């Protein structure tokens, strides 16, 4: 008996759930159809405005062309003015640079004239011939002691040759290619 009551309540709940689902689906369908009808009505109302808009566009095209021409002439005039101003600024900068360089040169000349205590050493005319021969002999002695006369850097098959001049021998050693 309790089982039948429980079964009856269960069937009743299922029946209610089925009705609710059907109602939800019905409401969804009605809302979609209603929205489509509303969109269609607004579209029909707007069609005459579209045709009027096309006629007005023909009239406004002339005014738009005139406005475009006015804007183009204004932009061209402003561009010319900007270019003229830029050219004047460049010319002023050039003149200022020339003035500054002239001032710098004049300042350097006056400063060097003020500092006359600097003297240029006189060239030495009397060079001792013995000193020259002593230096030449020192160079020859250094050359013979530590520095090779030449280094062979010819390409060859086999091991790579070291073609670096030893430190201090740059004036004495030559590289042979």
Beta strands in the chain (DSSP E): 150-152, 174-176
Q: Domain-by-domain residue ranges, the chain?
A: 1-106
Structure tokens at 88: 């004047």
pLDDT, one tens digit per residue, over 47-99 is 887 766 666 666 677 788 888 999 999 999 999 999 999 999 999 999 999 99
Structure tokens at 99: 């003035």
pLDDT, one tens digit per residue, over 118-169 is 555 555 555 555 555 555 555 555 445 678 888 888 888 888 888 888 888 8
Structure-model confidence comparison of residues 122 and 20, the more confident one? 20
**Euclidean distance between CA atoms 107 and 101, whole angstroms:** 10
Backbone angles phi, psi at 176, to 5 degrees: -105, 125
Q: Name the band, by pLDDT with cuts 50, 70 and 90, for residue 22.
A: very high
Structure-model confidence comparison of residues 30 and 145, the more confident one? 30
pTM: 0.30
Query: Do the beta carbons of residue 175 and residue 162 sit within 8 Å?
Result: no
> Which of the listed ranges 7-11, 37-41, 141-145 does the model predict with the highest average pLDDT?
37-41
Count of CB atoms situated within 10 Å of the CB of 151 = 17
Count of CB atoms situated within 10 Å of the CB of 166 = 13
Backbone angles phi, psi at 150, to 5 degrees: -150, 160
């Amino acid at each position: 008996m309790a089982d039948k009551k429980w079964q009856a309540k269960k069937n009743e709940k299922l029946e209610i759930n089925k009705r609710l689902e059907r109602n939800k689906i019905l409401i969804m369908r009605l809302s979609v159809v209603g929205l489509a009808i509303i969109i269609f009505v607004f579209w029909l109302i707007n069609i005459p405005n579209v045709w009027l808009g096309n006629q007005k566009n023909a009239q406004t095209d002339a005014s738009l062309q005139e406005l475009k021409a006015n804007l183009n002439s204004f932009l061209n005039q402003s561009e010319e003015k900007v270019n003229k101003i830029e050219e004047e600024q460049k010319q002023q900068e050039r003149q200022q640079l020339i003035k500054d360089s002239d001032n710098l040169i004049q300042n350097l000349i006056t400063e060097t004239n003020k500092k006359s205590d600097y003297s240029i050493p006189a060239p030495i005319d009397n060079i001792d011939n013995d000193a020259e021969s002593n230096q030449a002999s020192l160079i020859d002695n250094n050359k013979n002691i530590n520095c090779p006369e030449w280094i062979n850097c010819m390409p060859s098959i086999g091991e790579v040759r070291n073609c670096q001049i030893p430190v201090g021998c740059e004036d004495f050693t030559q590289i042979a290619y």
